[in-house]
Amino acid sequence: MSPQPDLAALLGSRLCHDLIGPIGAIGNGVELLSLSGVGPSDELALIAQSVTILKARIRFFRVAFGIARPDQSLPLTEIQSLLSDLHLGGRLMVDWASPADLPRPEVKAAFLTLLCAETVLRSAGHIRALRDEVGWSFTLSSPRLSSDPRLWSLLLSPDSAAELPVEASEVHFPLAAAAIALLGRRPELDPLPDGLRLSF
Protein backbone atom coordinates (compact mmCIF):
# COMPACT_ATOMS: atom_id res chain seq x y z
CA MET A 1 0.00 0.00 0.00
CA SER A 2 1.42 3.38 -0.99
CA PRO A 3 1.82 5.99 1.77
CA GLN A 4 -0.90 8.57 2.24
CA PRO A 5 -0.09 11.90 0.55
CA ASP A 6 0.64 14.89 2.76
CA LEU A 7 -2.43 16.90 1.78
CA ALA A 8 -1.50 19.89 3.96
CA ALA A 9 1.91 20.16 2.30
CA LEU A 10 0.37 19.73 -1.15
CA LEU A 11 -2.06 22.54 -0.33
CA GLY A 12 0.84 24.75 0.78
CA SER A 13 2.67 24.11 -2.49
CA ARG A 14 -0.47 24.79 -4.54
CA LEU A 15 -1.29 28.08 -2.79
CA CYS A 16 2.25 29.40 -3.10
CA HIS A 17 2.41 28.38 -6.76
CA ASP A 18 -0.85 30.18 -7.55
CA LEU A 19 0.08 33.34 -5.64
CA ILE A 20 3.59 33.90 -6.97
CA GLY A 21 2.34 34.64 -10.54
CA PRO A 22 0.13 37.65 -9.70
CA ILE A 23 2.75 39.01 -7.31
CA GLY A 24 5.36 38.79 -10.07
CA ALA A 25 2.98 40.61 -12.42
CA ILE A 26 2.70 43.49 -9.95
CA GLY A 27 6.49 43.67 -9.81
CA ASN A 28 6.66 43.75 -13.60
CA GLY A 29 4.09 46.54 -13.66
CA VAL A 30 6.12 48.63 -11.24
CA GLU A 31 9.22 48.10 -13.39
CA LEU A 32 7.34 49.16 -16.54
CA LEU A 33 6.10 52.29 -14.79
CA SER A 34 9.65 53.23 -13.88
CA LEU A 35 10.73 52.78 -17.53
CA SER A 36 7.78 54.64 -19.06
CA GLY A 37 8.88 58.12 -18.12
CA VAL A 38 7.30 58.19 -14.69
CA GLY A 39 9.99 59.57 -12.43
CA PRO A 40 11.18 57.72 -9.35
CA SER A 41 9.04 58.29 -6.29
CA ASP A 42 8.81 57.14 -2.71
CA GLU A 43 5.50 55.46 -3.54
CA LEU A 44 6.96 53.34 -6.36
CA ALA A 45 10.00 52.48 -4.23
CA LEU A 46 7.73 51.33 -1.41
CA ILE A 47 5.64 49.16 -3.76
CA ALA A 48 8.77 47.66 -5.32
CA GLN A 49 10.25 46.82 -1.93
CA SER A 50 6.96 45.33 -0.73
CA VAL A 51 6.73 43.14 -3.84
CA THR A 52 10.30 41.91 -3.30
CA ILE A 53 9.55 40.99 0.32
CA LEU A 54 6.23 39.37 -0.56
CA LYS A 55 7.77 37.25 -3.34
CA ALA A 56 10.49 36.12 -0.91
CA ARG A 57 7.85 35.33 1.71
CA ILE A 58 5.88 33.16 -0.68
CA ARG A 59 9.04 31.33 -1.81
CA PHE A 60 9.94 30.83 1.85
CA PHE A 61 6.46 29.51 2.66
CA ARG A 62 6.59 27.16 -0.31
CA VAL A 63 9.66 25.48 1.19
CA ALA A 64 8.43 25.61 4.79
CA PHE A 65 4.83 24.48 4.21
CA GLY A 66 5.03 22.71 0.86
CA ILE A 67 6.16 19.31 -0.32
CA ALA A 68 9.82 18.46 0.39
CA ARG A 69 10.99 15.34 -1.42
CA PRO A 70 14.27 13.68 -0.37
CA ASP A 71 15.67 13.81 -3.91
CA GLN A 72 15.27 17.62 -4.06
CA SER A 73 17.90 20.10 -2.89
CA LEU A 74 18.32 23.85 -2.53
CA PRO A 75 21.59 25.69 -3.26
CA LEU A 76 23.08 27.94 -0.61
CA THR A 77 23.04 30.97 -2.94
CA GLU A 78 19.27 30.68 -3.41
CA ILE A 79 18.66 30.36 0.34
CA GLN A 80 20.82 33.37 1.18
CA SER A 81 19.22 35.49 -1.56
CA LEU A 82 15.74 34.54 -0.35
CA LEU A 83 16.54 35.38 3.29
CA SER A 84 18.14 38.68 2.27
CA ASP A 85 14.99 39.74 0.39
CA LEU A 86 12.72 38.41 3.13
CA HIS A 87 14.16 40.67 5.83
CA LEU A 88 14.79 43.67 3.59
CA GLY A 89 14.69 46.78 5.75
CA GLY A 90 13.41 44.85 8.76
CA ARG A 91 14.58 44.69 12.36
CA LEU A 92 15.31 40.97 12.23
CA MET A 93 18.75 39.83 11.04
CA VAL A 94 19.48 36.26 9.95
CA ASP A 95 22.98 34.90 9.37
CA TRP A 96 22.88 31.54 7.56
CA ALA A 97 25.91 29.26 7.26
CA SER A 98 25.59 25.82 5.67
CA PRO A 99 27.01 23.57 2.94
CA ALA A 100 26.59 24.68 -0.67
CA ASP A 101 23.62 22.37 -1.33
CA LEU A 102 21.09 21.06 1.18
CA PRO A 103 18.38 18.39 0.93
CA ARG A 104 14.98 20.07 0.75
CA PRO A 105 13.58 18.21 3.81
CA GLU A 106 16.41 19.70 5.90
CA VAL A 107 15.74 23.20 4.58
CA LYS A 108 12.03 22.71 5.29
CA ALA A 109 12.78 21.86 8.93
CA ALA A 110 15.22 24.77 9.17
CA PHE A 111 12.77 27.27 7.65
CA LEU A 112 10.00 26.16 10.02
CA THR A 113 12.46 26.59 12.89
CA LEU A 114 13.25 30.10 11.62
CA LEU A 115 9.53 30.89 11.73
CA CYS A 116 9.47 29.72 15.35
CA ALA A 117 12.46 31.97 16.04
CA GLU A 118 10.71 34.94 14.41
CA THR A 119 7.72 34.39 16.67
CA VAL A 120 9.67 34.35 19.94
CA LEU A 121 11.90 37.23 18.81
CA ARG A 122 8.76 39.28 18.03
CA SER A 123 10.24 40.30 14.64
CA ALA A 124 13.28 41.99 16.17
CA GLY A 125 16.67 40.53 17.01
CA HIS A 126 19.36 38.32 15.54
CA ILE A 127 19.37 34.67 14.44
CA ARG A 128 22.48 32.68 13.65
CA ALA A 129 21.56 29.54 11.67
CA LEU A 130 24.40 27.03 11.33
CA ARG A 131 24.54 23.61 9.69
CA ASP A 132 27.77 21.77 10.49
CA GLU A 133 28.90 18.14 10.77
CA VAL A 134 26.99 17.76 14.05
CA GLY A 135 23.65 19.12 12.88
CA TRP A 136 21.64 22.32 13.01
CA SER A 137 21.86 25.09 15.59
CA PHE A 138 19.89 28.34 15.81
CA THR A 139 21.23 30.98 18.18
CA LEU A 140 18.66 33.64 19.04
CA SER A 141 19.43 36.96 20.70
CA SER A 142 17.04 39.80 21.43
CA PRO A 143 16.15 42.15 24.30
CA ARG A 144 12.46 41.20 23.81
CA LEU A 145 12.66 37.42 23.66
CA SER A 146 9.33 35.72 24.43
CA SER A 147 9.49 33.06 27.14
CA ASP A 148 6.11 31.35 26.58
CA PRO A 149 6.81 27.72 27.64
CA ARG A 150 3.74 26.45 25.77
CA LEU A 151 5.26 27.45 22.41
CA TRP A 152 8.47 25.57 23.12
CA SER A 153 6.46 22.55 24.27
CA LEU A 154 4.80 22.49 20.85
CA LEU A 155 8.24 22.33 19.24
CA LEU A 156 10.10 20.05 21.64
CA SER A 157 7.42 17.36 21.69
CA PRO A 158 5.86 16.13 18.42
CA ASP A 159 2.78 14.88 20.30
CA SER A 160 2.08 18.05 22.28
CA ALA A 161 -0.13 19.58 19.56
CA ALA A 162 -2.76 16.97 20.39
CA GLU A 163 -2.81 18.12 24.02
CA LEU A 164 -2.15 21.87 23.88
CA PRO A 165 -4.20 24.59 22.14
CA VAL A 166 -2.62 25.82 18.90
CA GLU A 167 -3.48 29.13 17.25
CA ALA A 168 -3.16 29.74 13.50
CA SER A 169 -0.22 32.07 14.22
CA GLU A 170 1.58 29.19 15.99
CA VAL A 171 1.03 26.29 13.58
CA HIS A 172 4.70 26.32 12.53
CA PHE A 173 5.76 25.07 15.99
CA PRO A 174 4.18 21.59 15.74
CA LEU A 175 4.99 21.48 12.01
CA ALA A 176 8.66 22.12 12.83
CA ALA A 177 8.53 19.35 15.43
CA ALA A 178 7.13 16.95 12.82
CA ALA A 179 9.69 17.98 10.15
CA ILE A 180 12.57 17.51 12.60
CA ALA A 181 11.20 14.10 13.64
CA LEU A 182 11.08 13.04 9.98
CA LEU A 183 14.83 13.71 9.83
CA GLY A 184 15.29 11.26 12.71
CA ARG A 185 16.38 14.00 15.10
CA ARG A 186 15.18 15.60 18.32
CA PRO A 187 15.24 19.33 19.09
CA GLU A 188 17.05 20.62 22.16
CA LEU A 189 16.74 24.03 23.79
CA ASP A 190 19.55 25.67 25.77
CA PRO A 191 19.28 29.07 27.52
CA LEU A 192 22.00 31.66 26.91
CA PRO A 193 22.80 34.87 28.86
CA ASP A 194 21.24 37.06 26.14
CA GLY A 195 19.01 34.58 24.33
CA LEU A 196 18.80 30.87 23.62
CA ARG A 197 20.05 28.15 21.29
CA LEU A 198 17.89 25.58 19.55
CA SER A 199 19.60 22.60 17.97
CA PHE A 200 18.66 19.33 16.29
Inter-CA distances, 20 with 49, 51, 61, 105, Å: 15, 10, 11, 22
pLDDT given for residue 141 in this prediction: 93
DSSP 123: T
**How is domain 73-200 classified at the CATH fold level?**
Heat Shock Protein 90 (3.30.565)
d(CA 157, CA 142) in angstroms, rounded, equals: 24
pLDDT given for residue 39 in this prediction: 66
**CA-based max dimension of the chain:** 62
For CA atoms 55, 84, 149, 159, the dihedral sign is positive
Low-confidence ranges of the chain (pLDDT < 70): 1-3, 38-39, 161
pLDDT given for residue 128 in this prediction: 97
- Domain layout of the chain by residue ranges: 1-67, 73-200
The β-bridge partners of 103 are 73
pLDDT given for residue 73 in this prediction: 96
CB distance 92 to 60 below 8 Å: no
> Following CA atoms 165, 170, 171, 175 in sequence, which dihedral angle do they give, to the nearest 10 degrees?
-100
pTM: 0.91
d(CA 93, CA 140) in angstroms, rounded, equals: 10
CB distance 102 to 73 below 8 Å: yes
